[in-house]
Amino acid sequence: MSTDDKQGLQVAVIAGSTRNGRFAPVVADWLLGHVATRDDMTADLIDLVETPLPTTFPSFGGELESGAAELIAAVSPRLESADAFVIVTPEYNHSFPAPLKNAIDWHNHQWHGKPVGFVSYGGLSGGLRAVEQLRVVLAELNAMTIRNTVSFHGAAQCFDTDGKPLDPAADAAAKTMLDQLAWWAEALREARRVRPFAA
């Protein structure tokens, strides 16, 4: 095993909602707390409110619009250096929010050969349909999505005032998802090292 193999995993946690008054920070903070208890990974929160991406794409081979490069530069290197991702997403109209799709679409090779876990929340659905749609999108980007997810149905009623889930099953589900993420992240990091991913 090389020195690289023994380094902790870098996990980019992407908060997918930018809505004013959003519930996303409660869910994201709880997930970050879980990562903080582990000795095999560290998290980098990518909050699309703090680091918005442009919404106008250039023509093929064309120039970015003014100011776009700076916005992209605030996010892209962090996705590039990530060994794995966790997407924290609500469900909007049976899918995931537009700013999250925008952030995904600005990138390509940054996703290749890397695992993606999900924490979803919403109304009745718990964000499960958003996650299933994300799996399809991320397959196009050669990412590996993690089977087990965490979902909060009626999210606002699932947490106490300290931001802790009322149902301890959520904590168990987070551990399982992160364990699976770590397995894939280590395996794929080693695989990319031995044989760089060729799309």
Ligand X SMILES: Cc1cc2nc3c(=O)[nH]c(=O)nc-3n(C[C@H](O)[C@H](O)[C@H](O)COP(=O)(O)O)c2cc1C
Write out the residues near ligand X by the rule CB under 6 A. Answer: 17, 19, 22-24, 90-94, 121-125, 155
Place of tokens 């080693």: 190
Using a 10 angstrom Cβ sphere, with 0-12 exposed, 13-18 middle and 19 or more buried, the burial of residue 61 is exposed
Residue 168 CB, shortest distance to ligand X, in Å, is 21
d(CA 84, CA 143): 9
Residue whose CB is less far from ligand X, 27 or 41: 27
Residue 4 CB coordination number (10 Å): 9
Residue 133 CB, shortest distance to ligand X, in Å, is 11
Residue whose CB is less far from ligand X, 19 or 193: 19
Residue 154 CB, shortest distance to ligand X, in Å, is 8
Which residue from 71, 150, 41, 137 is spatially nearest to 98, judged by alpha carbons?
137
Residue 110 CB, shortest distance to ligand X, in Å, is 24
Residue whose CB is less far from ligand X, 99 or 115: 99
What are the residues facing 88 on neighbouring strands? Answer: 15, 119
Residue whose CB is less far from ligand X, 27 or 188: 27
